[in-house]
Amino acid sequence: MESLMNKIRKLDAYPKISEDFYNRTLSGGFITIASSIIMFLLFFSELRLYVHTATETKLIVDTSRGEHLRINFDVTFPALPCSVLSLHAMDISGEQHLDVKHDIVKKRIDYQGNVIDSRPDGIGSTEIERPLQKHGGRLKQNETYCGSCYGASGEDCCNSCQDVREAYHRKGWALSHPDLIDQCKREGFFQRVKNEEGEGCNIYGFLEVNKVAGNFHFAPGRGFQLSYFQIHNPLASFQWDAFNISHRINRLTFGDDFPGVVNPLDGVQWNQGTLSGMFQYFIKVVPTVYKAVNGKAIKSNQFSVTQHLRGIDGESFQALHGVFFFYDLSPIKVTFTEEHISFFHFLTNVCAIVGGVFTISGILDSIIYHGQKAIKKKMALGKFT
């Protein structure tokens, strides 16, 4: 057994020097302190990377089909009343949503931004205390009212201001004087719009659209389709000299938020006096999937944007006042995956840090020690100048 121990002892790669031969130096002490601090900082940095997750990014082709795109928005128009503001959406597949009212909330605001009223009843609509009997419905007792469509329809009844407006829109006519329409007077439509003159509107909510290129826009007046063009009736009798489309985009996202997402239009504001015209945002939407370390996947989107203000000269048939968001989809999908560094990788890095710093410190200490000895020897021989 003693012979085996001696053989093992001879394999020792770190021969020990007796304590009587140790020579500790001041420079060695400073190097030891500095190397200890460096090792601690590097170890702490590596520990932080191990505790936190790392995100790996991949680019793949988006092969998804038949999905929908959710657009969340919150836009404030400080000089455009809610009564004349409407939301419309359309895409290249031909699907259109005119005068969107569902999943929308509007807030009437004064010139200082204070909320006057808030209703989840849609955009461009008004509350009717006593609506007229709808055509084709069951008439109330002793009520035989059948409202005129004022030449816009043949035998149909227009029993509400909305019916008259829709009949005019189907004809492609502008409803220039709603104050002369009996249904609009009974519902107080004219007075409601006049009462909101000088107010602003905050609109927020969301849209569910097909996952294809398209646009949605906010514009004064109610939209309708004429041939292949989308036209807006801005209610001529209420039209001011120029619609002020000054606006602030409080929030605009395509899908749910995820860690690290940046929405470039959040907080964008255009408020330059009487800003009028056709304001256009051209958006490139990039499908994104964020996979958390717990296995939860968030399907969302990122986007980039450019903007342009187009003046209205009155000659363009399709040009109109409003704020337009044109979006297109990228064929490339971005995938973010959260991952933890493995313990063995962490242990390997820690050993490399300790061993590397210890070795470099030893080399530096040896250079300084032997350099000092050489200088002292030359000084003793009188050869050092």
Structural domain includes residue 234: yes
pTM score > 0.85 for this model? Answer: no
Both 97 and 163 in one domain: the answer is no
Structural domain includes residue 275: yes
Query: How far is 287 from 300, CA to CA, in rounded Å?
Result: 6
Both 148 and 177 in one domain: the answer is yes
Backbone angles phi, psi at 42, to 5 degrees: -65, -35
Q: Which two tokens stand for residue 208?
A: 């569910």
pLDDT tens-place values along the chain, 385 residues long: 778 777 766 655 555 565 555 667 777 788 888 888 999 999 998 888 888 877 889 999 998 887 889 999 999 998 888 877 888 888 888 777 766 667 888 898 887 778 887 766 544 444 434 444 444 444 454 456 677 888 777 667 888 777 887 787 777 676 666 667 777 777 666 666 677 777 889 999 999 999 999 999 998 865 444 333 344 444 444 444 457 888 999 999 999 999 889 999 999 988 766 666 788 999 999 999 999 888 789 999 999 999 988 766 544 444 577 899 999 999 999 999 988 788 888 899 999 998 898 888 888 888 887 787 888 887 877 766 6
Both 142 and 220 in one domain: the answer is no
- Report yes or no: 294 and 248 within 8 Å, Cβ to Cβ: no
CB burial readout 229-251, b (16+ within 10 A) else e: ebbbbbbeebeeeebbbbbbbbe
Query: How far is 300 from 358, CA to CA, in rounded Å?
Result: 48
- Report yes or no: 327 and 215 within 8 Å, Cβ to Cβ: yes
Both 240 and 369 in one domain: the answer is no
- The closest alpha carbon to 259, from 231, 216, 297, 287, belongs to 297
Both 31 and 149 in one domain: the answer is no
Both 116 and 248 in one domain: the answer is yes
Both 315 and 352 in one domain: the answer is no
Q: Which residue has the tokens 């009798």?
A: 237
Structural domain includes residue 298: yes
Structural domain includes residue 14: no
Report the domain count for the chain.
3
Both 220 and 364 in one domain: the answer is no
Structural domain includes residue 5: no
Separation of CA 117 from chain center: 27
* Identity at 46, one-letter amino acid code: E
Structural domain includes residue 4: no
Both 182 and 248 in one domain: the answer is no
Other Cβ atoms within 10 Å of 185 Cβ, number: 14
Query: How far is 184 from 175, CA to CA, in rounded Å?
Result: 11
- Report yes or no: 221 and 95 within 8 Å, Cβ to Cβ: no
Structural domain includes residue 327: yes
Both 77 and 207 in one domain: the answer is yes
Q: Which residue has the tokens 């070795």?
A: 359
* Identity at 109, one-letter amino acid code: I
Both 229 and 143 in one domain: the answer is no
Domain span including residue 360? 21-53+341-381
Both 251 and 288 in one domain: the answer is yes
- The closest alpha carbon to 239, from 195, 176, 179, 192, belongs to 176
